[in-house]
Amino acid sequence: MTSASTGRVAVAEAPAKAIITGEHFVVHGSTALAAAIDRHVRVEVREAPSRGISVRSDRVSASHPASLLPVKKVVGSLCSAYSIEPSHELNISSTIPRGSGLGSSASTMVAAAAAMAKLHAVRLGLPELVRFAMEGERLVHGNPSGIDANACAYGGLILFRVGDAPRRVDLESPRRLLTVYSGVQRSTRMMISKVSSSRERHPRLFARMVDSVSQMSAGAAESLVRGDMHALGKLLTLNQGLLASVGASNPLLDDLVETLLSFGCLGAKLTGAGGGGSVVAVTPEGKGKSIISQLSERGFEGFETVLPLRGVESWLE
């Protein structure tokens, strides 16, 4: 068993995530489909010479230390659960834009828990890893569904419903998914509240939407398994219409979706909380690079992920 007293550094990397179908509605009981995508958070952790948890991040200035409290919560909870002295230094680096709807906070919490477990030779299964990550996620988002932390931990593709274990969706061959950052940050907590108010105004209609979204997610998973990207694209665009109807979209995201469709994408929708953040799209085979180039000319950052992508990984250095 390797311990922190060796002075070694434990490292963990967790991917970003994109919700392919079902965001917002998943909070209210629908099934959602999510994928790990090709952006990552890296957390390095070592034992500190004195008691306390010190966290540094390339995304957080020294003048905003409170934003790192969720990470400290994750580390502190793990230390308490396994009788570990809370004397650690963490260094966080990320390639995920903050406020992009791509799971930056969840990826950070998952990687922090995984690095701590690796440093102290604590064997954590993925469900336990997610449980510790959610300690920090709740500080960030209030009452999140848990889909982000599960997607970042498990990797690949998962069908997720609150209260159930995530179900892996296995692909026989690779699929491609385009992600585009709108350049506008958003607040998940605020957007969840906005959509929930729509539910309060139209409870019966919203309940039907929840059922419909579950069917969309099942259909999207089946389309990916079959490699029917045209069918997947239609489901994404349909899901965008529902999200717009409950207030999750805005003119910027609507225009970005329309732009992607005009470039030849087979379908597109916002991903994550909405109100900004990012859009996911299905590109025709071989057209991804061309579409990314066209987006760049308009000031948008886009990248493709080859699905499936691995989940969190950890090691000692």
b/e burial code for range 260-281 (CB count within 10 A of at least 16 → b)? bbebebbbbbbbbbbbbbbbbb
Task: Give the separation between CA 282 and CA 265, rounded to whole angstroms.
Answer: 6
Strand 52-57 relative to strand 87-94: parallel, antiparallel, unpaired?
Answer: parallel
What type of residue sits at position 292?
I
Contact predicate 124/144, CB 8 Å: no
Active site residue 148: yes
- How far are the Cα atoms of 67, 142, 187, 218 from residue 154, in angstroms, in the given order? 25, 22, 25, 19
Q: Which residues have a Cβ under 8 Å from the Cβ of 151 and sit 6 or more positions away?
A: 17, 19, 34, 35, 36, 103, 106, 158, 160, 166
Cβ-count burial 20-56 (b if 16+ within 10 Å, e if not):
bbbbbbbbbebbbbbbbbebbbbbbbbbbeeeebebe
Nearest-angstrom CA–CA distance, 62 and 75: 20
Q: Of the residues 58, 148, 254, 255, which is catalytic?
A: 148
Identify whether the C-beta of residue 24 lies closer than 8 Å to the C-beta of residue 210.
Answer: no
Sorted by sequence, the CB contacts under 8 Å of residue 174 that are 6+ apart come out as 306, 307, 308
Q: Are 165 and 154 in contact (CB under 8 A)?
A: no
**Contact in structure between 182 and 253 (CB atoms under 8 Å):** yes
Contact status, residue 233 vs residue 267, Cβ threshold 8 Å: yes
HSE-up of residue 97 (Cα within 13 Å, Cβ side): 20
* Cα-trace Rg, the chain: 19
What are the residue numbers of the active site? 148
